[in-house]
Structure 1
Amino acid sequence: MVLTYNEAIHLERCMASVIDLAHEIVVVDCGSTDDTSKIARRFGASVFHNPWVNYSTQFKFAVSKVNSNCKWIMRLDADEYLTEELKVSVSDFLINTSDGISGVFFRRRMAFMGRKIIYGGVFPAEMLRLFRAGRGSIECRWMDEHIKVEGKTVVLNGELIDDNLNSLTWWIDKHNKYASREAIDMLNLQFGFMEYDSVASMSGDSQASLKRWVKEKVYSRMPMGFRAFAYFFYRYVIRLGVLDGKEGAMFHFLQGFWYRYLVDCKVYEVKKCMREQSVGIKAAIKNVLNIEL
């Protein structure tokens, strides 16, 4: 199951990595103007079109289009692909799995400007990407949504590679949009204007649950601006991101500091709008971020 928008540069690589595993490929597109749909159909995928609201709504739409006889669903981004080791692990798991397992975590490794990131604590990021049909759902959030399952989970050997081939200008524009969406989630923690849905937990059930707990209970309560610098220092110095070379320095600074500081700036701007224009939180988000809730 792949959600797409102008992913012609990535989609063939993604599809080729799963074509031998999947009985069915569902692609949900939100208005691509390139050859995304053409490439998907060349691999035998069923292509559906649905206007973009946020990832959660698109995910739910995609699940609704999966064949009712399907037992397991794998969710991928178009710029991701499975290594040979992970493909073997998935195949073996699906043959030998028990009814007690509901979800499977993949170890995701990110690449930036063609360089795989090794340090900074960003690998392995364990992402739940394979789940038993009917037992998986998505967090109702605007950014960084995680899949939730009822039942036990396992982690497979091998790597899921996240390697976006677009330019740095594209990356910055994308993360500017991400920052607006994450600002909404940060504001919701304080103002509670939307349904609150989170996998956050200290129990250690999964890496994602613990990270989300730290983000919501610790990071979000730190002073704005300072928390972005503190996170960058943790990644680049304490977790040795400095050893990732030139491309790694760019990645850790932009994704570990610039992006998170930008989120803080947008949160500040929305609050300032509320004070100066005497409007509610939703109106301020519309005025500042141009997002209708």
Structure 2
Amino acid sequence: MFTLSVCLLTHNSARLLREVLPPLITVADEMVVVDSGSTDETLDICREFGITPFYHPYSMHGMQMNVAIERASHDWVLCMDSDEIMDEQTVNFILALKAGEEPAKNKAWRLPRYWYVLGEQVRTLYPVSSPDFPVRLFNRQHARFNLRPVDDQVEGHTCSEKMPGHVRHDTFYTLHEVINKLNGYTTRLVKYTRVRPSITRGFISAIGAFFKWYLFSGAWRQGRVGAVTGFYATLYSFLKYFKAWYQYPQIKAIQAEQDVDTHTHSLQK
């Protein structure tokens, strides 16, 4: 038997929060909510459920999750976003897991996450297929989130197991949300990783993404929602190279500074 801290990230999450919180509270021995400055009813809803969120400014998803993990009282943590809704089967599995013998500390569990765009379940959303199975339940003494600017992952566990059930990942609920996240993700990717600055490569990558993520994936069968996911994959693939090309002089200077800092730090060791 073991105790569990549920770590939840919020930011203007009122849309789904009343659906997200009840299953989490059912499995939690402690709720740790880290908010990055909500201006809607998010904080009021948390208080309705007896939760007092902590504030921490947002920089990257993995870093924000690690902040929540640090605030947890228990070593076993379940890390969730505020657009992920657990079903009864997943909840019952976690309750049974907690009631059994404490597992090996290097083990982790993967969430069965099904993606929804504009309220409709989709088969793919660049760069993942649905469902995907991210590690979300683990012992914080052995694992943490890495700091990749997008698509971060939990690292440090040595074995993992998929949970049963259906976790609804209700992302991109308006076209405005699609455009905003597309812009934000590609900007962070170019800022924190080395993307080759090339418009030509951008066009080639976009054409490949259109065929792979819209035509070959069967997204075209889903009408307007499929068109949105195909548009997202195509434009994402182009923008990351276009932004790298457009910002190349500034990025080159920043990366040179980072290389100098890394070299200096190594010498000091």
Which range, TM-score by smaller chain?
Answer: 0.7 to 0.9
The answer to whether the aligner puts 1:95 opposite 2:72 as a matched pair is: no
Quote the RMSD (CA, aligned, Å).
2.7
* CA distance in 2 between partners of 1:261 and 1:97 (Å): 49
Distance 1:34 1:237, change over 3 A: same
Counterpart residue number, 1:281: 254
* CA distance in 2 between partners of 1:97 and 1:244 (Å): 45
Unaligned 5+ runs, structure 1: 192-219, 285-293
Deviation at 1:232, TM superposition (A): 2.9
Counterpart residue number, 2:243: 266
Deviation at 1:190, TM superposition (A): 6.8
Distance 1:90 1:225, change over 3 A: farther
Unaligned 5+ runs, structure 2: 1-6, 258-269
**1:90-114 CA deviation, whole Å, 9 max, x = no partner?**
2223333652352111121111111
* CA distance in 2 between partners of 1:274 and 1:27 (Å): 36
Cα pair 1:4 1:28 within 8 Å, conserved: yes
* Equivalent AA in structure 2 for residue 93 of structure 1: L
Cα pair 2:62 2:153 within 8 Å, conserved: no
Deviation at 1:18, TM superposition (A): 1.6
Counterpart residue number, 2:30: 24
Deviation at 1:141, TM superposition (A): 2.2
Deviation at 1:49, TM superposition (A): 0.7
Number of corresponding residues: 247
* CA distance in 1 between partners of 2:19 and 2:138 (Å): 22
Counterpart residue number, 1:211: none
The answer to whether the aligner puts 1:178 opposite 2:159 as a matched pair is: no
Counterpart residue number, 2:3: none
Counterpart residue number, 1:39: 45
* CA distance in 1 between partners of 2:140 and 2:150 (Å): 23
The structure 1 residue matched to 2:122, chosen from 110, 117, 122, is 117
Between the aligned residues of both structures, percent identity stands at 24
The answer to whether the aligner puts 1:51 opposite 2:57 as a matched pair is: yes
- Structure 1 length-normalised TM: 0.75
Counterpart residue number, 2:217: 239
- Structure 2 length-normalised TM: 0.81
**1:18-68 CA deviation, whole Å, 9 max, x = no partner?**
22111111111111112211211222324101122222332221111111x
Distance 1:133 1:57, change over 3 A: closer
Distance 1:37 1:186, change over 3 A: same
Counterpart residue number, 1:198: none
